[in-house]
Amino acid sequence: MDIIGFLKSQFLCHLIVCYIFIVSGLIINTIQLFTLVLWPINKQLFRKINCRLAYCISSQLVMLLEWWSGTQCTLYTELKDYDKYGKENAIVILNHNFEIDFLCGWNFCERFGVLGSSKVLAKKELSYVPVIGWMWYFLEIVFCSRKWEEDRETVIRGLLNLRDYPENFWFLIHCEGTRFTQQKHQISMQVAESKGLPKLKYHLLPRTKGFAVTVKCLRNVVAAVYDSTLNFRNNENPTLLGVLSGKKYHADLYVRRIPLEEVPEDEEQCSRWLHKLYQEKDAFQEGYYRTGTYPGTPIVPPRRPWTLLIWLFWALLLLYPLFQLVVNMISSGSSLTLASFALVIFVASVGVRRMIGVTEINKGSTYGNNDSKQKQK
């Protein structure tokens, strides 16, 4: 291991990276709070400003994937569709199997220029998370509690609010509702059997109501559905901690562009269409495990420098006062000061571990583990 790789793997280095992300994120959240005065005056200006501010946060995580770990992301798609990416609104359906699938999704958003305006149907608990959750609030992200009877009106209202959004956006929806685990898969396939639906090998049974409502609310605003299937080479099991430690992964993403006109308007027909789509996604994963490749032409979209430049800006701005503070505390020689410093380091390390833990599969949501709650269509 070279010296750079060794430093990347050290926990102190992780603390510094997280310090830059959290402090810069809180600064940006504060600026976002002040932009609220623009909402009643010029809503579209508010939105454009917050897209740029949100980019300053999410781009730092993309920087970790692209520049820090050097992870390679290859896109498989049809050449005739490639030029449309980033130039139209789209609904993105992505499998939810990996701890960093969201980060790979953001990576492709960044390379096609829609990272700042990217949207997601997210669980409500995330809206309370500092930095990311608060950033999403100002981006008008659609939150749900994953209880459809309670969510329906909130989701519809949030989606209709996006119809006049001034920036091109990709709206991500994990139709499986939760991250794939063997336990959840077993329960999901029991539901499939009870409903007479074809079983899936690599996915959970899709939950169709949220997708159908999303299509209905965004029809004539969104141009296409991007059916996206992600996998990693050599049976890699990527983690956010691995990325933070500088470990390089190799991601492959297959994207099919499906014009929204091909998605049925009727809710029942839309449900059948989505189930058929997931059977096709399962076949694509089967082919990938067998051949190591997806259909379509492999393309590596060019990496842009902005994620790295933004991170360097925040690092230069925030590290000097941090180092000055540390030096002053150590040179003071006060036992109380040193004890306080040690306590801060301990709290920071616990906070970093909790942040990373949010993405870990074995600490993920229990949603989908209780078969009595499986009311999928």
The token pair at 11 is: 């926990």
297-299 and 72-77 beta bridge pairing:
antiparallel
Distances (CA, A) of 173 to 96, 209, 265, 356, 377: 10, 12, 18, 22, 16
The SS3 of residue 121 is strand
62 lies in some domain: yes
The token pair at 297 is: 């032409």
pTM for the model: 0.90
State which H helix or E strand residue 61 sits in.
Answer: helix 43-63
For CA atoms 270, 272, 276, 279, give the dihedral sign.
positive
Q: What is the pLDDT of residue 173?
A: 94
370 lies in some domain: no
Cα of 350 vs its chain's centroid, Å: 23
325 lies in some domain: no
CA distance 69 to 245: 7
335 lies in some domain: no
The token pair at 258 is: 């499906």
71 lies in some domain: yes
**Who's near 45: CB < 8 A, 6+ residues apart?**
38
State which H helix or E strand residue 120 sits in.
Answer: strand 119-123
For CA atoms 283, 284, 286, 287, give the dihedral sign.
positive
Are the C-beta atoms of 203 and 278 separated by less than 8 Å?
yes
Ordered per-residue pLDDT tens for the chain, 377 residues: 588 888 888 888 888 898 899 999 999 999 999 999 999 999 999 999 999 999 999 999 999 999 999 999 999 999 999 999 999 999 999 999 999 999 999 999 999 999 999 999 888 888 888 899 999 999 999 998 777 777 888 999 999 999 999 999 999 999 998 888 899 999 999 999 998 888 999 999 999 999 999 999 999 999 999 999 999 999 888 999 899 999 999 999 999 999 999 999 999 999 999 999 999 999 999 999 999 999 999 999 999 999 999 999 999 999 998 888 778 877 776 777 767 766 767 676 666 666 665 555 555 555 555 543 444 44
CA distance 186 to 192: 10
Domain that holds residue 215: 3-307
Q: Torsions phi, psi of 254, nearest 5?
A: -100, 125
Specify the number of domains making up the chain. 1
Q: Residue 142 sits in a domain of what CATH number?
A: 3.40.1130
SS (H, E, C) 158-179: HHHHHHHCCCCCEEEECCCCCC
Distances (CA, A) of 143 to 117, 134, 345, 359: 16, 12, 33, 18
Q: What is the pLDDT of residue 363?
A: 52
Torsion of CA 362, 363, 365, 371, to 10 degrees: 40
230 lies in some domain: yes
Radius of gyration of the chain, Cα coordinates, nearest whole angstrom: 22
Q: What is the pLDDT of residue 148?
A: 73
In the DSSP assignment, the letter for residue 303 is P
Q: What is the pLDDT of residue 377?
A: 44
Q: How many CB atoms lie within 10 A of CB 191?
A: 16
Beta bridge partners of 171: 91, 119
354 lies in some domain: no
Cα of 345 vs its chain's centroid, Å: 28
DSSP letters, 198-261, are PP-SSSPPPPHHHHHHHHHHHBTTB-EEEEEEEEEGGG----HHHHHTT---EEEEEEEEEEGG
> 96: number of CA atoms within 13 Å, CB side?
24
362 lies in some domain: no
State which H helix or E strand residue 329 sits in.
Answer: helix 306-332
